[in-house]
Amino acid sequence: MRPARRLLGLALGRRLPRVEGTLRVAGLDAPVTIRRDGFGIPHVEAANGEDAWFALGLCHAQDRAFQLETMVRAARGTLAELVGPDALALDRFSRRLGFRRTAGEALEAQEEVVRAWIDSYVRGVNAGLAAGRTPHELALLRRRPSAWTPADPVAAIRLIGFGLTTNWDAELSRLKVLELDGAEALAAVEPGYPSWLAVTAPPGRAAGEAIDRLAEDVGALRGVVGAGGSNNWAISAERTATGRPLLANDPHLSPTLPAFWYLAHVRTPEWELAGASVVGLPGIHVGHSDVAAWGITNGGADVSDVFLEEMSGDGRSVRDGDGWRECQVVEEEIAVRGGEPVMERVLITPRGPVVTPALGDGLPALSLRADRFRSFDDFRALTTGSPFPPSNLVYADVTGTIGWQFAGLVPRRERGASLLPRPGAEAGGGWSDGFVPAEELPWIVNPDAGFVATANNKPTVDGEGP
């Protein structure tokens, strides 16, 4: 194995990032300094925010070029073009979900400063890809890196958000149990939220007796059935030896190589951030500024539904109540390396694309604009006003304040919980208009218990909050 490794090294050479000297690239307002510490972590000093995110994009491209390539292709549905037919199923699924197809509209909905930072980050990614050597993986595949567009980070966060949304496949699993073993078996293995398990607010309090919401969904389906975790916490200054609050965050994402996270330190004259960024996105998503620290976990809210649709004979309409509704049809051409292109016909119903979960609109393009908050009130205003995937955000700052905010887009349903796939034609079976208002999302600040903690558990007790 060792001679083969040497031969490969001689053939392809070392492809390490350039970390010394001066690199001239277009797209900056002013010179940027990037220093690397002994662990290779970049420390960016920039004149403004746009240049800072340009530099982070350049660093991502220097260090994680193939990771960027796989992410952008997975979001676009173009992996088969790179590796062949083995990736065709993934591309078809991606095209049906429409991560990239719907990203442009979501990008336009972002405020101007966010779009500017995304644009700067993308320019930095492309500059880093152009200035560096093609990574080994792409060299072996005889391909150049794909150029990024501003819509690609939006598509990437949709892809990541989908990976964190687990209730749609749980619905399918429940349906399979119902089909094979009946309602009693399903109730035995899906007992609901146990009464002894804690909620987040108030801290440490048990949930109370859970309401059995399964029966209604089982009954609704009888006529048609034919069939990642984390934790974080913050402790108040009164409970620590230093007299300052402590905050910890442990996102339980599946281990990958390279890792999901990318450590970085970014500074401008107005603000300074350090922590973990996500490759493919601008921002520091878990970390701290000179004022506050924050951590994030999956909120686990039910934000996707699976519906059982009745199709018309021509395959272009679905039953909606007592009638039929024509659907949007999108033809997607998928290039396949070593094979003929494949045409994927995507049917988009009023409830979402066929044979997919419904993701909803407005997933975020940027995780956390930490430079713009200086207090927990500022933090709440930003996080509740931003379209996060449902998340638990914990907070601690230099004044001793600690807090928790449940943030994200959570749909208001017309009835019931989405525990099983529902008939799409059923009246009142879908989402109602809009989402839970930001001011109704649960939160706490400086609780008497002296701590806040989340571990993908239920946010509040039954009957409190939305």
* Number of neighbours of residue 197 by Cβ within 10 angstroms: 12
CA distance 151 to 101: 9
- Could you tell me the sign of the dihedral formed by the alpha carbons of 76, 80, 83, 89, in that order? positive
3-state secondary structure of 53: helix
Alpha-carbon span 408 to 438, nearest angstrom = 8
User: Position 227: which residue type?
Assistant: A
Tokens in use for 84?
Answer: 């062949």
Rounded CA gap, 378 and 376, in Å? 5
Place of tokens 């530099």: 55
Treating both helix axes as pointing N-terminal to C-terminal, what angle do 112-131 and 65-76 enclose, rounded to 10 degrees?
130
Spatial CB neighbours of 72, under 8 Å, sequence gap ≥ 6: 146, 148, 152, 155, 156, 280
Question: Is 246:235 a contact under the CB 8 Å cutoff?
Answer: yes
3-state per-residue secondary structure call for 414-444: CCCCCCCCEECCCCCCCEEEEECCHHHCCEE
- For residue 35, the tally of other CB atoms under 10 A from its CB is 11
Cis peptide upstream of residue 411 (ω within 30 degrees of 0): no
Alpha-helical runs (H) found in 203-336: 214-221
Report the alpha-carbon distance of residue 171 to residue 188 in Å, rounded: 16
Residue in 220, 427, 433 with CA at minimum distance from that of residue 320: 427
Residues 322 and 316: their CA atoms lie apart, in Å, by 17
Cβ-Cβ contacts under 8 Å for 422 (sequence gap 6 or more):
217, 220, 221, 305, 306, 307, 308, 429, 430
Q: Mind telling me the catalytic residues?
A: 230
CB-based contact 314:306 (threshold 8 Å): no
* Residue labelled with tokens 């700067």: 120
Q: Do the Cβ atoms of 215 and 201 come closer than 8 Å?
A: no
Contact 294, 378 (CB under 8 A): no
